[in-house]
Structure 1
């Protein structure tokens, strides 16, 4: 379970709480958005992939630019505050949306917020943590994030159980924890160079962790280390098969899950991440990141293969639990390996490269999944993703990555 050892810097702890409240709000909304689109607004299934894919990919360039700009200015917090603020406002936007294009606009606003905050936030974590404790720090952050991802669906489930079909009410309710997250961020998150009355707790008090202002005028992929370019190549391939989780929810809906049960299902999935993320992150500091990522990719392939074959709600419950294990094996470990491979003076920019690539691949992945789902069969996108994940796992195992 979640631990908060003294070696976790107060800023890292605060960012974990910010993510907890933010994901509390987001995951109250996310599992029912596909159902809101198709059942309430009457949009076709292909719009689910389009909305998710285009919103992720359109915001992807911001993930690079915000990281680069935070390097240039020596400021991270401004971008993080703006990003989480836009995410909070988007919840109210969903409550008044009357068409799938309005939902697309609101999702774009939310993803722009993520694009602004993702790289600067992850750079802040890296700058407040010693290299040999990055897995622990990112694992801790992901664990708190996952607590929010459990609480959000559970609260949404209780609300819909009492007010059946009131999706707009859920969206309004989700604004409250999102606002709390922004307030925590404003109060307790500090730049590495700022003096904090935190009792002296820090992963690493060395001045090297205070991020230097980068002199990088423009970004080029040639400036990345060979190991990081290899890693990004595998990430890009895996991303082609990693379509939006909305398709897992649509598949579950087809097999008989209602809106309230989808929220319960999503909570159970995230519970696995709460239990395991911190331990797996710390374990990656000891055994290395790559073996755990290979295991995660392999598990992803098996889970998606299972979704392709699934015909019963019982199997869906089991698959979502294993999907939570995949998330625990990869999300925090991915970020820790990125932090290992990037150049310290270009940390925000190069971390932004990772986030940008993941976001850009979301569009073709989701559009392809939507096409396969509607034009071939409901199982086809899951078989495709399973194959891509297997190839990615093999390639990552063969890579020799040096920090």
Structure 2
């Protein structure tokens, strides 16, 4: 087994593969497109199509359910076929095609259909994309590679709302015209994917033991399941950024500047994800994930009592640090622990489980908000995060013992 210092030395000598860079810029372009639409869609549903807030919630909840279910099956299928690129192209292609529906939507039903197509695409592409990164990246560069992809993705996350604001001003508030422009970066992403990536020769042979089976999930091993437990723990403690948008108006932002919340969060997230990923290659992942929980507890406590823009921004910065210290590392841990022939399946189960936790947690957070306001929601989040820190420590110790046992066995 390589020592951390040897891994760090190898990481400095090696370069992040070209495929990872291309996938990062593909994510950036698609996220610009998606965030332009997402920043304006609730307003468009309510003011232009006459939808209620309950309908807006249904559309978002349906999106999560579709994406998480699709991710599992796309992971199993990509392991069976041994091909990642075709499914990634199909996923991003559906996402791009869905952007053409939004400006044509004449009813809420059209929006539901567009979101369904977009989320199916997201579900299809996410798992094989992450598995492809794991396939082409040497172990000593996995943290940096997943961190880089996340950083470039979050650049799109904060550019999208800014572009939406600028386009609204340019088109005099014509939301449909903005939606048409949002389709452009989405189709550029698909074009870059088609010409910029070659399917790698896999070190592991394609499976020849029959069609894909859900029973493959049972073969993932304890290391993968412990990693998924850590991911679910972190995800359960973190509520949706939608609650940050609601809090921003309480803190003093006018409606026009509410999207700046996402700009700040994504900027901090993006700036942190890549260096944290590189650092994890040198010193390990679990300590940095533990630090992410500390940032989350602090963010909740600051946001619970924030009554000014300055205090609110401080909470958003802490939230962004939590994201930067956690999201890329969770995918890296799956890549580290998953058996190569079942890597796609592992990412599929990971995405499914965390997606279901997100759905349940956000429903609970919304109910708490209705009953007790923002203070109750954020204090509950702080309490869950603090309790999660204890559970995280126990899981981390168990995972370290398992890794040590496996290493001794290999030796």
Q: What range is the shorter-chain TM-score in? A: 0.7 to 0.9
Alignment counterpart, residue 330 of structure 1, candidates 326, 332, 335: 326
Q: Does 1:149 align with 2:144?
A: no
Q: Does 1:244 align with 2:240?
A: yes
Alignment counterpart, residue 51 of structure 1, candidates 59, 82, 88: 59
**Deviation at residue 129 of structure 1 after TM alignment:** 0.6
User: What residue in structure 2 maps to residue 202 of structure 1?
Assistant: none
Unpaired segments ≥5 residues, structure 2: 1-11, 404-411
Q: Which whole-Å deviations, capped at 9, do the CAs of 1:52-99 have from their partners, x for residues lacking one?
A: 233112321210110110110111111111111121222233334455
Q: How does 1:200-215 map to 2 (within 5 A)?
A: 208=203, 212-213=206-207, 215=209
User: What residue in structure 2 maps to residue 133 of structure 1?
Assistant: 141
TM normalised by structure 1 equals: 0.87
SS at match of 1:75: coil
In 1, Cα distance between the equivalents of 2:208 and 2:159? Answer: 39
Alignment counterpart, residue 342 of structure 2, candidates 327, 346, 352: 346
Change over 3 Å in CA distance of 1:375–1:305 after alignment to 2: same
User: What residue in structure 2 maps to residue 261 of structure 1?
Assistant: 257
Q: Does 1:28 align with 2:22?
A: no
Q: Does 1:230 align with 2:226?
A: yes
User: What residue in structure 1 maps to residue 276 of structure 2?
Assistant: 280
* Residues 20 and 145, structure 2, Cα contact 8 Å, conserved in 1: yes
* Residues 277 and 328, structure 1, Cα contact 8 Å, conserved in 2: yes
**Deviation at residue 171 of structure 1 after TM alignment:** 2.1
In 2, Cα distance between the equivalents of 1:266 and 1:106? Answer: 23
In 1, Cα distance between the equivalents of 2:313 and 2:137? Answer: 36
* Residues 81 and 206, structure 2, Cα contact 8 Å, conserved in 1: no
User: What residue in structure 2 maps to residue 362 of structure 1?
Assistant: 358
Relative contact order, higher structure (CA 8 A, sep 6+)? 1
SS at match of 1:92: coil
In 2, Cα distance between the equivalents of 1:38 and 1:9? Answer: 44
In 2, Cα distance between the equivalents of 1:361 and 1:48? Answer: 20
Q: Does 1:379 align with 2:375?
A: yes
Q: Which whole-Å deviations, capped at 9, do the CAs of 1:83-141 have from their partners, x for residues lacking one?
A: 11121222233334455554343222221111101110000000001111100111111
Unpaired segments ≥5 residues, structure 1: 194-206
SS at match of 1:379: helix
Greater Rg over alpha carbons, structure: 2
Change over 3 Å in CA distance of 1:383–1:41 after alignment to 2: farther
Q: Which whole-Å deviations, capped at 9, do the CAs of 1:200-241 have from their partners, x for residues lacking one?
A: xxxxxxx63x66436474234432222322232232343334
Change over 3 Å in CA distance of 1:164–1:323 after alignment to 2: farther
Q: Does 1:310 align with 2:306?
A: yes
* Residues 135 and 336, structure 1, Cα contact 8 Å, conserved in 2: yes
Alignment counterpart, residue 180 of structure 1, candidates 170, 173, 188: 188
More helix by share: 2
User: What residue in structure 2 maps to residue 87 of structure 1?
Assistant: 95
**Deviation at residue 47 of structure 1 after TM alignment:** 4.2
Which segment drifts farther, 366-375 or 31-40?
31-40
CA-atom RMSD in angstroms? 2.5
In 1, Cα distance between the equivalents of 2:190 and 2:86? Answer: 12
User: What residue in structure 1 maps to residue 9 of structure 2?
Assistant: none
**Deviation at residue 40 of structure 1 after TM alignment:** 4.8
In 1, Cα distance between the equivalents of 2:298 and 2:56? Answer: 24
User: What residue in structure 1 maps to residue 4 of structure 2?
Assistant: none
User: What residue in structure 1 maps to residue 23 of structure 2?
Assistant: 15
* Residues 293 and 333, structure 1, Cα contact 8 Å, conserved in 2: yes
User: What residue in structure 1 maps to residue 213 of structure 2?
Assistant: 218
**Deviation at residue 249 of structure 1 after TM alignment:** 1.4
